[in-house]
């Protein structure tokens, strides 16, 4: 029998890949110490957002995934689990960073309705899923502040999303089962103040991150949405902060609300990081106050 906390097969595969990445990165650092000196500072590659790109938990940042500098290639893999009162969200994925300039990412999300599925007329344990393919390009600026590098790192990106429950999406008023988000992000790390600040503007039609399709009976046009993060480096390997993310309200059957979280990202080593958070996603599909725990593990090199 499948338990509530059983992990989907794709998530188990990504976890194995994550372990392999950690082992590979550790071996590389042991063999070639210059990679440590030449690599990024801890946490300046971000952690993994629920959509697979480098960032915080909810927000996508301008940072490029991996520990590489402008002379190398890096990568990461992540597994994320969000436990809410009536639903569970699992996300697992990989990303590659090329010369701290270009990021390619993939993530698979699985949204488990648990017993709430029966209440919603879908059947107990009904699951939504989607695949997310991302490209991010750094266009100008530097993430780490000094007197000669005041301009924040600014990146542009796209995320193409393909949801897998087409009949249900149409039944709730969604117009499409696939769609593409466009965003521009600006991120600055101010080491003298121990601050990390990000602001992202996303143009999207996504309903519940895309799990309920794109566009709806209330609205089908692209609308700008805001993602913001502010964190403090309590230690060089520990970042604590808050995030906020607005979302479009396209479907008439249920109001969609902004998401909030308070997080702590701990870089255990150069190749392994853990992020824990308290997350508030508001009302989801007529069920109120979906607040719970967020946990993500990331391996990188």
pLDDT tens, 101-148? 999 999 999 999 888 877 777 877 789 999 999 999 999 999 887 767
Task: Flag whether 4 is in a domain.
Answer: no
Higher per-residue pLDDT: 214 or 25: 214
pLDDT at residue 181, rounded to an integer: 97
Whether 60 is in a domain gets the answer: yes
- What's the domain range around 88? 9-296
Does residue 2 sit within a domain? no
Q: Look at residue 301 and tell me if it is in a domain.
A: no
Asked whether residue 282 is assigned to any structural domain, the reply reads: yes
Whole-model pTM: value is 0.84
How many structural domains compose the chain? 1
Condensed to tens digits (0 to 9), the pLDDT of residues 236-255 reads 899 999 999 999 999 988 88
In whole angstroms, give the CA distance from residue 22 to residue 25. 5
Structure tokens at 234: 């309590």
Q: Supply the CATH number for residue 211's domain.
A: 2.40.160.40
Q: Is residue 56 part of a domain?
A: yes
Residue 3 lies in a domain: no
Let me know if residue 1 belongs to a domain: no
Q: 277 phi and psi, to 5 degrees? A: -155, 155
d(CA 22, CA 94): 13
**Greatest alpha-carbon span in the chain:** 60
């Amino acid at each position: 029998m499948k338990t509530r906390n059983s992990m989907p097969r794709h998530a188990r595969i990504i976890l194995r890949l994550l372990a392999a990445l950690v082992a590979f990165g550790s071996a590389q650092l042991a063999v070639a110490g210059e990679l440590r000196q030449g690599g990024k500072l801890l946490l300046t590659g971000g952690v993994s957002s629920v959509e697979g790109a480098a960032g915080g938990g909810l927000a996508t940042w301008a940072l490029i995934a991996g520990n590489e500098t402008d002379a190398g290639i890096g990568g990461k893999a992540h597994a994320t689990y969000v436990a809410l009162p009536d639903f569970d969200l699992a996300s697992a994925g990989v990303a590659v960073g090329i010369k701290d300039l270009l990021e390619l990412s993939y993530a698979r999300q699985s949204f488990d309705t648990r017993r709430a599925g029966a209440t919603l007329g879908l059947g107990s344990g009904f699951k939504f899923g989607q695949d997310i393919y991302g490209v991010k390009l750094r266009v100008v600026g530097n993430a780490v502040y000094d007197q000669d590098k005041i301009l924040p790192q600014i990146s542009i990106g796209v995320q193409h999303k393909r949801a897998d429950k087409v009949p249900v999406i149409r039944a709730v008023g969604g117009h499409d089962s696939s769609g593409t988000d466009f965003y521009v992000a600006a991120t600055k790390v101010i080491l003298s103040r121990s601050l990390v600040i990000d602001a992202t503007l996303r143009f999207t039609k996504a309903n519940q991150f895309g799990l309920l399709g794109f566009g709806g009976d209330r609205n089908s046009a692209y609308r700008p949405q805001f993602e913001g993060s502010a964190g403090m480096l309590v230690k060089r390997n520990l970042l604590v902060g808050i995030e906020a993310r607005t979302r479009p309200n396209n479907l008439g059957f249920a109001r969609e609300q902004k998401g909030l979280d308070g997080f702590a990202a701990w870089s255990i080593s150069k190749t392994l990081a853990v992020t824990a958070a308290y997350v508030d996603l508001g009302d989801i599909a007529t069920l109120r106050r979906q607040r719970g725990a967020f946990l993500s593990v990331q391996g990188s090199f």
